[in-house]
């Protein structure tokens, strides 16, 4: 599991270490890790032109000490000071002693220094930052050459470390070197996008895992959660997933949802709805029935919604069932908050940003710019587990850390791929995973399957479904 911790926890852990250790030890470790990463990126340090953007806090101190190390190895290092009178004194002295030079960020030549640098180190602001870049910093960042390497210290300046929100301008880094722990803002868009590749430097902070606010499953975690049939398994013990999806107008949604469900580990897939002919033509192994879902026979979990249109009757029939239910797409529009809250069995809602926005009564942009608060808000309102789809898919339940999906590719943004995901996650629910695990494992496999199917090129939703078994085998190989 990859865990991320909020700023308050990181600060508390820092205080503990500082109370025990010598003054400045943490910053020295941080700067050593930062310098090593910069050196590796540069390849050849000697003679390299480096600009340090240095703000008023310890983030600037890290940049200055790392700059001193690089200057000691023969790099041409210039610190551009954004608040000259409040610059970290020890760091500044170290840089000067190592032969580095200093300019005031308000001087005209400062922009030229930045523009000529091959490597720019962003030490403007770290976990102490609030809001986007201020004007002078934004002007200097805009001067960075297109082919320069940008390394952010701890957090890209302008990105909210706790949430990944960006209010105004922020630094776009190739690499972010973060200290002591991952911060949520480095793993959730839009912040994740600004952070580039994230490197964690261990500086000896001890964080209790109970304090994590965000977690990302890794291969081994997923392998441990995947259902696996045993000698005694039969199709009923493995779980039957019921799919209520599709309409005369949108039969394809039913086919894609069933395609995902068949690869999700349940023993059988039952389809109820008007697209039965299309489903059977493509997947003859599906058990189809007409009539209300509640009369369809044994089902351990339902998926309801993709391509459903306005069929509120079947939706309500499913929501009344006393087994886990995944609600997606049209189902989200039709399901009332009160009905969902009243359910006793687990509910998993899987909106994309537009659907989440409609449920919350805000704009799509608001959801996309504040994904963490949107997913938490929805989970709270509905008393359900919510999987918010998109570039960084999040899964939140009422309690416990939010999960962020580390797999996936923008090629997944293709019509119908969400239907495959809902079938897949519903199948995992039927196989016995709880709603959080079914959502997170479903998103993980779905993303990995898309990468398999894509190999860097376009994919169709059907390709993603077809690649799920390969993704599954990949994960199990690490078992």
Ligand X SMILES: NC(=O)C1=CN([C@@H]2O[C@H](COP(=O)(O)OP(=O)(O)OC[C@H]3O[C@@H](n4cnc5c(N)ncnc54)[C@H](OP(=O)(O)O)[C@@H]3O)[C@@H](O)[C@H]2O)[C@@H](O)CC1
Ligand Y SMILES: Nc1ncnc2c1ncn2[C@@H]1O[C@H](COP(=O)(O)OP(=O)(O)O)[C@@H](O)[C@H]1O
Contact partner at residue 302 from ligand Y, ligand X, K ion, none, CB < 5 to 8 Å by partner kind: none
- Residues 332-361: x where in contact with ligand Y by CB under 6 A, - otherwise, as a string: --------------------x---------
User: Are the C-beta atoms of residues 166 and 159 closer than 8 Å to each other?
Assistant: yes
Q: Shortest distance, CB of residue 370 to ligand X, whole angstroms?
A: 17
Judged by CB under 5 A, does residue 153 bind K ion?
yes
69, 32 contact by CB (below 8 A): yes
Phi-psi region of 157 (alpha: psi -120 to 50; beta: other; left: phi over 0): beta
Secondary structure of 370-383 in HEC code, one letter for each residue? CHHHHHHHHHHHHC
CA atoms within 13 A on the CB side of 462: 5
Q: Which residue has the tokens 């990859």?
A: 2
Of 4, 48, 113, 125, the residue at the interface with ligand X (CB under 6 A) is 125
Near ligand X by CB under 6 A: residue from 64, 124, 254, 394? 124
Q: What does 389 bind: ligand X, ligand Y, K ion, none (CB cut-off 5 to 8 Å by kind)?
A: ligand Y
Picked from ligand Y, ligand X, K ion, none, the partner binding residue 122 (CB below 5 to 8 A depending on kind) is: K ion
416 binds, among K ion, ligand Y, ligand X, none (CB under 5 to 8 A by kind): ligand Y
Number of residues forming the site for ligand Y (CB under 6 A): 18
Rounded-to-integer distance, Cα 311 and Cα 291, Å: 13
In Å, how far are 53, 86, 139, 318, 365 from 243, measured between CA atoms? 55, 62, 54, 10, 31
Measured CA to CA, the distance from residue 444 to residue 457 in angstroms comes to: 19
Contacts of 233 (CB under 8 A, 6+ apart): 267
What lies within 8 Å, CB to CB, of 299 at 6+ separation is 240, 241, 242, 270, 293, 321, 323, 430
Which of 238, 231, 385 has the alpha carbon at shortest distance from 299? Answer: 238
Residue 157, annotated ligand binder? yes
Residue of 128, 309, 383, 432 interacting with ligand X (CB under 6 A)? 128
The least distance separating ligand X from the CB of residue 240, rounded to whole angstroms, comes to 51
**Which range touches ligand Y (CB under 6 A), out of 84-92, 266-274, 369-377, 386-394?**
386-394
Contact present, 257 and 305 (Cβ < 8 Å): no
Residue 341 CA, distance from chain mean position: 27
Residue 419 among known ligand-binding residues: yes
Q: Which of 2, 134, 199, 364 touches ligand X by CB under 6 A?
A: 134
Q: Is 253 in the site for ligand X (CB under 6 A)?
A: no
122 touching K ion, by CB under 5 A = yes
Site for ligand X in 184-203 (CB under 6 A): 203
Count of residues engaged in binding K ion, rule: CB under 5 A? 5
Quick check: 390 binds ligand Y (CB under 6 A)? yes
E strands within 96-253?
101-104, 119-123, 149-153, 175-179, 197-201, 214-216, 240-244
Interface with ligand Y includes 192 (CB under 6 A)? no
Q: Is 188 annotated as a binding residue?
A: no
Q: Is 87 in the site for ligand X (CB under 6 A)?
A: no
The verdict on whether residue 391 carries a ligand-binding annotation is yes
**Least Cβ distance, residue 132 to ligand Y (angstroms):** 23
Measured from the CB atom, the residue of 133 and 370 that comes closer to ligand X is 133
389 forms part of the interface with ligand Y (CB under 6 A): yes
The CA distances from residue 192 to 186, 391, 392, in Å, are 5, 10, 8
Q: Does 419 bind ligand Y (CB under 6 A)?
A: yes
**Interface with K ion (CB under 5 A):** 122, 126, 152-153, 157
**Interface with ligand X (CB under 6 A):** 10-11, 14, 26-27, 30, 55-62, 124-131, 133-134, 137, 153-154, 179-180, 203, 205
**Interface with ligand Y (CB under 6 A):** 329, 352, 389-391, 393, 408-410, 412-413, 415-419, 421, 446
């Amino acid at each position: 599991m990859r865990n991320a911790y909020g700023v308050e926890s990181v600060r508390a852990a820092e205080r503990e270490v500082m109370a025990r250790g010598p003054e400045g030890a943490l910053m020295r470790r941080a700067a050593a890790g930062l310098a090593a990463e910069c050196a590796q990126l540069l390849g050849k340090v000697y003679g390299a032109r480096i600009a340090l953007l240095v703000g008023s806090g310890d983030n600037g101190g890290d940049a200055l000490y790392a700059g001193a190390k690089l200057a000691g190895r023969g790099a041409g290092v210039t610190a551009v000071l954004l608040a000259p009178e409040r610059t970290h004194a020890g760091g500044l002295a170290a840089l000067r002693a190592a032969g580095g030079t200093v300019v005031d960020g308000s001087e005209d030549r400062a922009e030229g220094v930045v523009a000529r640098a091959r490597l720019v180190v962003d030490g403007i602001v770290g976990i102490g930052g609030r809001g986007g870049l201020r004007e002078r910093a934004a002007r200097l960042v805009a001067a960075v050459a297109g082919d320069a390497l940008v390394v952010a210290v701890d957090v890209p300046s302008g990105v909210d470390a706790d949430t990944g929100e960006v209010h105004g301008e922020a630094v776009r880094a190739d690499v972010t070197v973060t200290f002591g722990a991952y911060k949520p803002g480095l793993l959730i868009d839009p912040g994740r996008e600004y952070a580039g590749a994230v490197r964690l430097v261990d500086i000896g902070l001890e964080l209790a895992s109970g304090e994590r606010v965000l977690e990302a499953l890794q291969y081994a975690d997923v392998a441990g959660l995947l259902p696996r049939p045993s000698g005694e398994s039969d199709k009923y013990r493995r779980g039957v997933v019921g799919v209520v999806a599709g309409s005369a107008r949108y039969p394809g949604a039913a086919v894609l949802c069933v395609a995902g469900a068949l690869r999700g580990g349940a023993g059988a897939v039952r389809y109820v709805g008007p697209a039965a002919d299309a489903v059977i033509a493509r997947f003859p192994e599906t058990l189809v029935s007409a009539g209300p879902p509640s009369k369809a026979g044994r089902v351990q979990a339902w998926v309801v919604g993709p391509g459903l249109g306005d069929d509120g009757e079947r939706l309500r029939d499913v929501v009344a069932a006393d087994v886990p239910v995944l609600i997606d797409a049209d189902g989200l529009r039709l399901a009332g908050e009160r009905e969902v809250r009243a359910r006793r069995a687990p509910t998993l809602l899987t909106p994309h940003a537009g659907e989440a926005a409609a449920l919350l009564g805000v704009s799509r942009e608001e959801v996309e710019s504040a994904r963490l608060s949107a997913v938490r808000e929805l989970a709270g309102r509905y008393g359900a587990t919510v999987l918010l789809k998109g570039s960084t898919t999040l899964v939140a339940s009422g309690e416990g850390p939010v999960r962020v999906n580390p797999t996936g590719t923008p090629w997944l943004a293709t019509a119908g791929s969400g239907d495959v995901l809902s079938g897949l996650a519903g199948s995992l629910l039927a196989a016995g995973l709880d709603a959080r695990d079914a959502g997170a494992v479903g998103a993980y496999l779905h993303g990995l399957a898309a990468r398999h199917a894509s190999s860097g090129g376009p994919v169709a939703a059907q390709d993603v479904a077809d690649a799920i078994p390969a993704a599954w085998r990949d994960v199990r190989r690490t078992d």
